[in-house]
Chain A
Amino acid sequence: MKGIINKIIPFSNVDGPGNRLSIFFQGCNFDCLYCHNPETIKIFNEDNYSEYDYIENEKLSILTVDEIIKEIDEVAPFISGITVSGGECTLQWKFLTVLFKEVKEKYPKLTCFVDSNCSIPLWTDDKKKFVNVLDKIMIDIKGFTVEEHEVITAVKNNVVIENFKYLAGMNKIYEVRTVIVPEITDNEKMVDNISRMIAEKDKSIKYKIIKYRQNGVREDLLKSYTPNEAYMRKLKKIAEGNGLKDVVII
Chain B
Amino acid sequence: MSDQVLSIIKNRVLTYEQKLRTLAGAAEGTVNILNITPDIQEYRDKGIICDLFEGNAPYRARYITPDYERFMKKGSEFLEIKPAKDIWEATTNLLILYNHVPSITSYPVYLGNIDYLLEPYIEDEEEAYKAIKLFLLQIDRTITDSFCHANLGPEKTRAGEMIMKATVELDTMTPNLTLKYDEEITPDDYAVQAIETSLKVAKPSFSNYKMFQKDFNYKDYAIASCYNGLSIGGGAYTLVRLNLARLAPEAKNEEDFINRVLPDAVNRMARYMDERVKFLVEESGFFESSFLAKEGLIHRDRFSGMFGMVGLAECVNQLIGAEKKEDRFGWSEYADELGLKIIQKLQDYVHNYKTKYCEITDGHYVLHAQVGIDTDYGISPGCRIPIGDEPALPKHIKQTAKFHPYFKSGIGDIFPFDEMSAKNPSSILDIIKGAFKEGMRYFSVYSTEADVIRITGYLVKKSEMEKLHNNEQVIQQTVVFGLGARENSKILERKVRGNE
Contacts and interface: CB of A to CB of B under 8 A. Distances in A.
Interface in A35-84: 74-75, 77-80
Nearest to A22: B499
A75 B437 CA distance: 12
Contact of A13 (B394, B421, B434): B421
Contacts of B423: 13
A74 B394 contact: yes
A169 interface: no
A199 B407 CA distance: 54
Interface stretch (A4-12, A116-124, A148-156): A4-12
A18 B430 contact: yes
A1 interface: no
A79 B430 contact: yes
Given A10-B392, A11-B394, A80 B430 contact: yes
Contact of A10 (B394, B424, B498): B394
Contacts of B434: 75, 77-79
B426 interface: yes
A19 interface: yes
A243 interface: no
A182 interface: no
Interface residues of A, number: 16
B397 interface: yes
A117 B430 CA distance: 28
Contacts of A80: 426-427, 430
Interface string B159-177: 0000000000000000000
B500 A14 contact: no
B440 to A, nearest CB: 11
A11 B495 CA distance: 15
B438 A77 contact: yes
Contact of A19 (B428, B437, B438): B428
Nearest to A77: B434
B486 interface: no
Interface string B420-463: 11011011111101110110000000000000000000000000
Contacts of B492: none
B424 A11 contact: no
Contacts of A19: 424, 426-428, 430-431
Nearest to B421: A13
A20 B500 CA distance: 11
B393 interface: yes
A3 B239 CA distance: 55
B437 A11 contact: no
- Name, among A9, A12, A19, A79, the residue most crowded by chain B CB atoms within 10 Å (CB to CB): A19
Given A10-B392, A18-B427, A19-B428, A77 B500 contact: no
Contacts of A11: 392-394, 427, 431, 499-500
A140 to B, nearest CB: 19
Given A12-B499, A74-B394, A77-B437, A18 B420 contact: no
A206 to B, nearest CB: 13
A18 B394 contact: no
A9 B499 contact: yes
Given A13-B498, A17-B426, A18-B426, A78 B394 contact: yes
Nearest to A12: B499
A19 B430 CA distance: 6
Interface string A121-158: 00000000000000000000000000000000000000
Nearest to A13: B427
A13 B420 contact: yes
Given A13-B420, A19-B430, A75 B500 contact: no
A13 B438 contact: no
Interface in A59-112: 74-75, 77-80
Contacts of A74: 394
Task: With a 10 A CB-CB cut-off, give which of A11, A13, A20 has the most chain B CB atoms.
Answer: A13
Contacts of A75: 394, 434
12 contacts: A9-B499, A9-B500, A11-B392, A11-B431, A11-B500, A12-B427, A13-B420, A13-B423, A18-B424, A19-B431, A77-B438, A80-B430
Interface of B: 392-394, 397, 420-421, 423-424, 426-431, 433-435, 437-438, 498-500
The 7 closest A-B pairs by CB, nearest first: A78-B434, A77-B434, A13-B427, A19-B430, A19-B427, A13-B424, A18-B430
Given A11-B393, A13-B427, 10 more contacts: A9-B499, A10-B500, A11-B394, A11-B431, A12-B427, A13-B499, A19-B428, A75-B434, A78-B430, A80-B426
